[in-house]
Amino acid sequence: MPDAAIANSSERPWGWFETLAEGEGYKLKRLVIRSGQRLSLQRHLHRSEHWLVAAGCGSVWLEDHQQKLAPGDSVEIPMHCRHRAAAEGPGELVIIELQRGQLLSEDDIERFADDYGRCDNTVLCDNTVRCADGVATGDAPDRV
């Protein structure tokens, strides 16, 4: 849990994050994922991300590929790439995240699957995704 003195921290069901720095076209965050928890399967339309594992162990999914994560590993996540991370060791998974793009906002998250009920998309029988607004948006991602 973040120290009360960390003004830019935000609690999430999977752990917490804090903004470390930001400027024109970039934002730097620290993500702390609790053991046994994972981020939603998501993508961003307006930013890319670069992750550096600072501590802990886990896995990352990039589209249909999964790889193990350990301290010192880095992952490049291009715009539009479905991704998620999970903490799988006994402790927290700490990721330093560099976002780059024109829109660096929590509003630029499209969720496809979420362990905490935050996904607004429904997978239909024809394997398309129907958003909460009723518009079909294309093929559904594989379940992770």
Contact 97, 63 (CB under 8 A): no
- CA dist., res. 79 & res. 41, Å (int): 14
Distance separating alpha carbons of residues 89 and 35, to the nearest angstrom: 6
Q: Give the three-state DSSP class for 93.
A: strand
The topology under which CATH files domain 9-113 is Jelly Rolls (2.60.120)
Measure the CA–CA gap between 106 and 41, rounded to whole angstroms: 14
pTM over 0.85: no
Q: Give pLDDT tens digits for 31-58.
A: 999 999 999 999 999 999 999 999 999 9
Per-residue pLDDT tens digits for 75-112: 999 999 999 999 998 999 999 999 999 999 989 999 99
Tokens describing residue 141:
């991602």
Residue 38: DSSP 8-state: B
Residue spans per domain, the chain: 9-113
Helices (H), 17-78: none
